[in-house]
């Protein structure tokens, strides 16, 4: 029988239980695309900690040229890691020709098995389509894709489903394709999920109404609302980053409760409202900021 191991994140939350086989497994060579703050604090420690158990070998890191010094410091002590550096690019569906050539060369020379995509979300589709066409295993940060103005232009929002269809059309179903929504594994949510499931199973009553509210717990100043690049508010909105967890967790609660109750729903209605950046400026106006700061 396989043994079980628990991988623990740097925040102390149990992320998953996985079987450890009793026989040696093939070494898996990993390419990390995007080595920003999240990858530094989550993926790099995870790859280092699990190397002995699963023979995960970080071989290649892809990042922007402007982040070279940061990446070199982040991967220090992880063994020989090849850096592939690129400039920013705009096309939402394809990578620059030179970069594709460099990535293909790195895959061939380093026998890459899979990629972790941890870039700015506006670059997800470009790398995902390349990785899927390259027949690689993929682990990608949520969201699967997003676009500029997706929160305010319906025509741009429709591209999200079109993106999903594009990926399904090119990926190999025999290769892993996982979207990382890490808050599924928060102990508090796991407890709530188990509780909802047990009640649904015992009484055959599924969830009929869910309310979700979300706030980062951070106070953004007016200038930051317009200029911040990480988890940006302008351009593609909250649901493309932290708000994604609300939809994901509520979907899991509904799935488990109906599955355990043995019943199905006739229809689902969703109602949402958002406070946009202009709303926050009405809530806390110029006089408020001058008085407080």
**Structure tokens given for 81:** 């890691």
**CA-CA distance, 216 to 280, in Å (whole number)?**
14
For the segment 80-127, what is each residue's pLDDT rounded down to a tens digit?
999 999 999 989 899 999 999 999 999 999 999 999 999 999 999 999
Contacts of 1 (CB under 8 A, 6+ apart): none
**CA-CA distance, 23 to 10, in Å (whole number)?**
28
Q: What does the pLDDT read at residue 150?
A: 87
Listed as ranges, residues in the chain with pLDDT below 70 are 1-25, 215-216, 230, 233-235
For the segment 132-153, what is each residue's pLDDT rounded down to a tens digit?
999 999 999 999 999 988 888 8
Q: How far is CA 253 from CA 88, 196, 200, 210, 222, in A?
A: 39, 7, 11, 9, 36
């Amino acid at each position: 029988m396989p043994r079980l191991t628990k991988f623990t994140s740097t925040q102390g939350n149990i992320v998953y239980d996985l079987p450890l086989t009793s026989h040696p497994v093939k070494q898996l060579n990993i390419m990390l695309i995007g080595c920003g703050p999240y990858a530094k604090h989550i993926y790099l420690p995870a790859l280092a900690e699990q190397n002995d158990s699963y023979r995960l070998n970080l071989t290649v890191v892809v990042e922007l040229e402007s982040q070279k010094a940061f990446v070199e410091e982040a991967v220090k002590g992880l063994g020989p890691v090849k850096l592939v550096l690129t400039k920013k690019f705009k096309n939402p569906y394809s990578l620059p020709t030179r970069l594709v050539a460099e990535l293909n060369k790195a895959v061939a020379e380093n026998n890459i098995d899979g990629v972790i995509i941890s870039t700015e979300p506006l670059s997800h589709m470009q790398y995902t389509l390349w990785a899927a066409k390259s027949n690689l295993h993929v682990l990608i940060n949520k969201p699967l894709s997003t676009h500029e103005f997706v929160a305010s232009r319906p025509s741009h929002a429709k591209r999200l489903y079109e993106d999903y269809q594009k990926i399904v059309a090119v990926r190999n179903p025999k290769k892993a394709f996982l979207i990382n929504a890490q808050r599924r594994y928060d102990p508090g949510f796991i407890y709530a999920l188990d509780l909802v499931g047990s009640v649904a199973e015992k009484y055959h009553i599924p969830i009929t109404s869910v309310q979700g509210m979300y706030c980062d717990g951070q106070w953004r100043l007016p200038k930051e609302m317009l200029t911040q690049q990480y988890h940006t508010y302008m351009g593609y909105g909250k649901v493309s980053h932290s708000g994604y967890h609300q939809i994901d967790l509520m979907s899991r609660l509904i799935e488990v409760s109906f599955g355990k109750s043995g019943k199905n729903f006739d229809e689902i209605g969703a109602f949402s409202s958002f406070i946009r950046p202009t709303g926050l400026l009405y809530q806390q106006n110029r006089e408020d900021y001058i008085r407080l700061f």
